[in-house]
């Protein structure tokens, strides 16, 4: 019976199924051919029909099952009736077989904050760079990111027309992260992943100071963290405001659950309580291993320019 499971594990199990439905919606919107693109604040800040439908699906599905949650989504959508087709009320039973870490076993629904990015990498989605796209559901308690779900709607899409598309990665601090094969970047190499469409002098100065062997410019915070945990990059460096809490909450959990570290450019932990400002105004610095190398190479001029 579901009530015998802790609130946190029930929420993660539900969020997993909801994220899978979200991935299906993302694929359907492209298949139908009308992305419904709206420019928000700039030509690089876009919203599509998929962003809107997925946010409605995630937030409504979670609120229906967990009415006391605080849910913060990226898109500013008007309240209204949600198509029943968008509601997902299933849960991933396999997650419920896992033990809840003891420090989280007594958490109440109203203590949790959920940060939702319905489509991370929207600009890349509109340009057909589909492997950059993720759906992010992050769960925070007492200001700390403790559980996260990342769906990659187009994982495997380059494997041919008969490939099974999509995968869902999930993790809980103290339990682990699942749904992928952990791999480390080549030893002794500094492969830095950074923004594709939001670069500036601060970002390039910071990366140059780290003496990179290779710089990968890709979309999506979720995608960049996946590069770290799958050994394609050794650090994620974004020395600029622009990234938001819904971009980092879920990916941070996955990285921390396997021993990595994600902070702002000063080395401060990011805060995820419901009152916090949404912008990560002091940027993002993350690595699976050797975090201290990258942190020690951030120039003072960059730190001085980015106020937490």
How many angstroms separate the CA atoms of 19 and 21, rounded? 5
What is the number of other CB atoms lying within 10 angstroms of the CB of residue 71? 18
- Does 247 show up as a binding residue in the annotation? yes
- Does 117 show up as a binding residue in the annotation? yes
- Does 88 show up as a binding residue in the annotation? no
Mark whether 195 is an active-site residue: no
**Which residue out of 24, 45, 122, 195 is catalytically annotated?**
122
Mark whether 89 is an active-site residue: no
Q: Taking a C-beta distance cutoff of 8 angstroms, is the pair 20, 164 a contact?
A: no
Q: Taking a C-beta distance cutoff of 8 angstroms, is the pair 203, 240 a contact?
A: yes
- Does 110 show up as a binding residue in the annotation? no
Q: Taking a C-beta distance cutoff of 8 angstroms, is the pair 93, 105 a contact?
A: no
Tell how strand 191-195 and strand 214-218 pair up: parallel
Phi and psi dihedrals of 169, rounded to 5? -105, 140
How many angstroms separate the CA atoms of 150 and 15, rounded? 10
**Which residue out of 48, 51, 131, 248 is catalytically annotated?**
51
- Does 252 show up as a binding residue in the annotation? no
What is the number of other CB atoms lying within 10 angstroms of the CB of residue 222? 28
Active-site residue numbers?
51, 122
Binding-site residues for Mg(2+) sit at 74, 117, 119-120, 247
Q: Which amino acids are annotated as binding site, given as ranges? A: 74, 117, 119-120, 247
């Amino acid at each position: 019976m579901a009530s015998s499971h802790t609130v946190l594990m029930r929420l993660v199990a539900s969020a997993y199924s909801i994220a899978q439905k979200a991935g299906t919606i993302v694929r359907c919107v492209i298949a139908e051919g009308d992305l419904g693109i709206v420019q928000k604040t700039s030509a690089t800040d876009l919203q599509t029909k998929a962003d809107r439908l997925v946010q409605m699906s995630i937030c409504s599905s979670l609120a229906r099952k967990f009415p006391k949650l605080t849910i913060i989504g990226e898109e500013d959508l008007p309240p209204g009736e949600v198509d029943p087709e968008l509601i997902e009320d299933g849960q991933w039973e396999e997650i419920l077989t896992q033990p809840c870490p003891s420090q989280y076993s007594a958490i109440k629904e109203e203590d949790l904050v959920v940060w939702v990015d319905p489509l991370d990498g929207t600009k890349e989605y509109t340009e057909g760079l589909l492997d950059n796209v993720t759906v992010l559901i992050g769960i925070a308690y007492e200001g700390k990111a403790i559980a996260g779900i990342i769906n990659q709607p187009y994982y495997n899409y380059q494997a041919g027309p008969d490939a099974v598309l999509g995968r869902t990665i999930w993790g809980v601090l103290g339990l682990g992260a699942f749904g992928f094969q952990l791999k480390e970047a080549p030893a002794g190499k500094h492969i830095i992943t950074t923004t594709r469409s939001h670069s500036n002098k601060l970002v390039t100065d910071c990366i140059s100071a780290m003496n990179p062997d290779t710089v990968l410019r890709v979309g999506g915070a979720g995608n960049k963290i996946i590069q770290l945990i799958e050994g394609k990059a050794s650090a994620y460096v974004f020395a600029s405001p622009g990234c938001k809490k819904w971009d980092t909450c879920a990916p941070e959990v996955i990285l921390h659950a396997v021993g990595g570290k994600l902070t702002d450019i000063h080395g401060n932990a990011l805060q995820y309580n419901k009152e916090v400002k949404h912008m990560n105004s002091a940027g993002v610095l993350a690595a699976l291993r050797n975090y201290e190398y990258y942190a020690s190479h951030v120039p003072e001029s960059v730190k001085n320019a980015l106020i937490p």
